């Protein structure tokens, strides 16, 4: 079976789905590895490193003609989708819950689609395949570095002959995988760090990193299903924003990471909260998206300085800005998943397997993932139905 690594097509994307170090793992399992010319360049893996590891470097046309399985980091562009043919399998982070149309297109072409973001993350045998976690770790690390670079003062306490600098006060809102990594990195840089999350379970994790956990009285338990947060009601959201504003004003740097699966990111830092911050403060919004982010006024991919001197950075695709580390981790994730689905050198699709039921989105001409299929064919609402997260 031929497994091919494509050159990523998204603008500015520097990661690659498979790094040379992982090639032998696949060849030892009886797979042949093809790499599109220049696929690893953005992450500093030259074609020669892939050849030395046992892969064949191929031209784009040959790759699509020969491959049985194609590995990508993010969704393929229209040209790449157009090149796929029936019987091929695409592995990548395809975001089918936000882009179900791609799943439908792939099913229509009789391409099998496997998306790493559908992995059941709490399953212990799936840990090594968890690309959402590995990439969120990279993003959280980089967010702290970006904040430190944009901030006009030091993060650590510095006592010098030219005076004493007090440590920066940094607040992380949303302390899942990325938030905890941002806390750890900011602490290593010497900042005084606090964290807040709507899931009470994260309190112990924040404290174990030596940071202070902020508890709000206005919102109680915001935990939802599967370890994720639930969407707050309008009243809860307003009360949370109001209570958070006072905490935000006391900090020099704020990093926001809050997400709710399948929903637009919650607004945590209102324009009023931004106005109450001191000149020179920095906010990094990791939730920034075209739909709006965690911070009022943040623009994805841009840095905005407000009238009162607050720098708001709309962080976008941070893993791609640490391309070698992010690719190394992703490569381990995608190869571990691929190898669990290979038996005797061939791909075996088994939707009764808990991991495969989560990641296989399209197969045999059908969108087989129930949540994605439901998005494509919503059932008419019955009289007693109400809208709620997960519906």
Q: Which of 74, 135, 175, 241 binds ligand NAD (CB under 6 A)?
A: 175
Binding status of residue 177 toward ligand NAD by CB under 6 A: yes
Query: Does residue 317 contact residue 138 with C-beta atoms inside 8 Å?
Result: no
Question: What is the contact mask toward ligand NAD in residues 108 to 147, using x (rule: CB under 6 A)?
Answer: -------------xx----x--x-xx--x-----------
Query: Does residue 2 contact residue 68 with C-beta atoms inside 8 Å?
Result: yes
- Mind spelling out the 3-state secondary structure of 162-174? CEEECCCEEEEEC
Q: Which of 39, 63, 260, 318 binds ligand NAD (CB under 6 A)?
A: 260
C-alpha pair distances (Å), 336 with each of 131, 255, 332: 11, 32, 6
Q: What's the angle, vertex CA 359, arms to CA 198 and CA 197, rounded to 5?
A: 10
User: Nearest residue by C-beta to ligand NAD?
Assistant: 176
- Shortest gap between Cβ of 332 and ligand NAD (angstroms)? 15
Q: Which of 30, 152, 227, 390 binds ligand NAD (CB under 6 A)?
A: 227
Binding status of residue 258 toward ligand NAD by CB under 6 A: yes
- Shortest gap between Cβ of 322 and ligand NAD (angstroms)? 17
**Cα 96 from Cα 114, distance rounded (Å):** 10
Query: Does residue 198 contact residue 229 with C-beta atoms inside 8 Å?
Result: yes
Binding status of residue 82 toward ligand NAD by CB under 6 A: no
In the range 194-213, which residues lie near ligand NAD by CB under 6 A?
A: 197-199, 202
Element (H, E) at 151: none
Query: Does residue 354 contact residue 124 with C-beta atoms inside 8 Å?
Result: no
Q: Which two tokens stand for residue 196?
A: 């807040």
Q: Which of 41, 95, 228, 357 binds ligand NAD (CB under 6 A)?
A: 228
Q: Judged by CB under 6 A, which stretch of 150-158, 177-185, 246-254, 374-382 contacts ligand NAD?
A: 177-185
Total H helices, total E strands in the chain: 13, 19
Phi, psi of 17 (to 5 degrees): -70, -30
- Shortest gap between Cβ of 333 and ligand NAD (angstroms)? 12
- Shortest gap between Cβ of 224 and ligand NAD (angstroms)? 8
- For ligand NAD, the closer of residues 28 and 127 by Cβ is 127
Look at the alpha carbons of 290, 294, 299, 301 in this order and tell me if their dihedral is positive or negative: negative
- For ligand NAD, the closer of residues 111 and 182 by Cβ is 182
Residues at the interface with ligand NAD (CB under 6 A): 121-122, 127, 130, 132-133, 136, 173-179, 197-199, 202, 227-229, 232, 257-261, 266, 268
């Amino acid at each position: 079976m031929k497994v091919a690594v494509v050159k990523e097509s998204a603008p500015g994307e520097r990661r690659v789905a498979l790094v040379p170090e992982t090639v032998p793992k696949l060849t030892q399992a009886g797979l042949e590895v093809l790499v599109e010319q220049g696929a690893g360049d953005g992450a500093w893996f030259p074609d020669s490193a892939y050849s030395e590891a046992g892969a064949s470097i191929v031209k784009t046309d040959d790759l699509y003609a020969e491959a049985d399985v194609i590995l990508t980091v993010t969704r393929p562009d229209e040209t790449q989708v157009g090149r796929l043919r029936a019987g091929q399998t695409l592995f990548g982070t395809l975001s089918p819950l936000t882009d179900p149309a791609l799943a439908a297109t792939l099913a229509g072409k009789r391409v099998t689609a496997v998306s790493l973001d559908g992995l059941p993350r709490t399953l212990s045998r799936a840990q090594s395949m968890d690309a959402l976690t590995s990439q969120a770790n990279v993003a959280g690390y980089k967010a702290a570095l970006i904040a430190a670079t944009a901030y006009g003062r030091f993060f650590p306490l510095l006592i010098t002959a030219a005076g004493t600098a007090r440590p920066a006060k940094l607040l992380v809102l949303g302390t899942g995988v990325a938030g905890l990594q941002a806390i750890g990195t900011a602490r290593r840089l010497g900042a005084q760090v606090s964290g807040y999350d709507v899931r009470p379970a994260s309190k112990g994790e924040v404290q174990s990193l030596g940071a202070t956990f902020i508890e709000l009285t206005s919102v109680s338990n915001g935990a939802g299903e599967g370890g994720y947060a639930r969407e707050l009601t309008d009243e809860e959201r307003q009360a949370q924003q109001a209570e958070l504003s006072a905490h935000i004003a006391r900090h020099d740097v704020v990093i926001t990471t809050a997400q709710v699966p399948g929903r637009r990111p919650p607004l945590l830092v209102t324009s009023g909260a931004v106005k109450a911050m001191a000149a020179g403060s920095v906010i990094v919004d990791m939730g920034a998206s075209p739909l709006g982010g965690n911070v009022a006024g943040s623009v994805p991919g841009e840095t905005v300085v407000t009238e009162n001197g607050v720098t708001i950075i709309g962080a976008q695709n941070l893993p791609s800005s640490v391309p070698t580390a992010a690719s190394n981790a992703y490569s381990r994730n995608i190869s571990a998943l691929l190898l669990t689905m290979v038996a005797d050198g061939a791909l075996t699709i088994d939707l009764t397997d808990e991991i495969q039921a989560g990641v296989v989105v399209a197969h045999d001409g059908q969108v087989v993932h129930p949540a994605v299929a439901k998005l494509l064919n919503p059932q008419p609402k019955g009289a007693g139905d109400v809208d709620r997260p997960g519906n």
